[in-house]
A and B are shown apart, each in its own frame.
Chain A
Amino acid sequence: MTLLTTVFAAIIATVVWYKGAPQSEMKVGTLCWMYWGASLMWLVDAIFEYAELGAEYFTPAPVDMLNDFYLGLSVAALGLIIWLVILLLKDPKGVVKAALFKKK
């Protein structure tokens, strides 16, 4: 479920990035790389788990599924926070700079 949530987050981020490309004022690309990187790593985790559990891997207990979904959403939220911090630090539109050095 965590893998699935992250893959959906990666797909949505990629669609948003493509819509705004080639300008990258919102730095959505960073979010895409982050989510795709995590998705690939969780895919490996899933393959190893499948090798261990077999078909049982696809029938998780509802509580485990809910917990994994909660983790997936938390991961997506953390990714968004990291992206927001990078966006505000890099400040491609100069909004933060303008707000900090506002003339009286």
Chain B
Amino acid sequence: MACFLVPATEAIITTVAAKVIQSKEKEESVKLTLPDGSVQEATRIKFSTKLGWLNKLLWGGSALLAFEHLWHGEVVPFFPFLTAVENGETADMLAEMGSAGVMMAVLVTAVWCGMLAVSSFMEKRAIRDCKLVKEGM
């Protein structure tokens, strides 16, 4: 009916949050000693960049789902834009948004949290490996 509106709303919030964080964030760089002994300066991925991943997942998914709703005639290009509202099925629509819509937003956010954990682990491992190389020299 209109489940895509929930992740789309989350996308608006996270996009604004990413812009605010980006304006306040500073670049964090670390020095890495590579196996060949050379030292290279690398910058950590900023949190605003990581939040950008969530934005892209939410915006992309919502856009393609909106098309699917248009395909099924659940969204129309004229007021009130939602067929459920036009047919007096607003309560059903809200119930669906509260179940499927919220679950969609939760699943996408959960996957993003998993990606954050993996990237954080990989960053730490890269730094640790470089330190081990330095200690072994």
Chain A residues close to B by CB (< 8 Å): 2, 6, 29-30, 33-45, 47-48, 71, 74-75, 78-79, 82
Contact = CB atoms under 8 A, between A and B. Distances in A.
A54 B56 CA distance: 32
A33 B57 contact: yes
Interface in B59-99: 59-65, 67-68, 71, 99
Contacts of B59: 34, 37
B56 A33 contact: yes
Contact of A75 (B4, B67, B99, B100): B67
Chain A interface main SS type? helix
Contacts, number: 77
What range describes how many residues of B lie at the interface? 20 to 34
Contacts of A40: 57, 61, 104, 107-108, 111
Contacts of B51: none
A79 B60 contact: yes
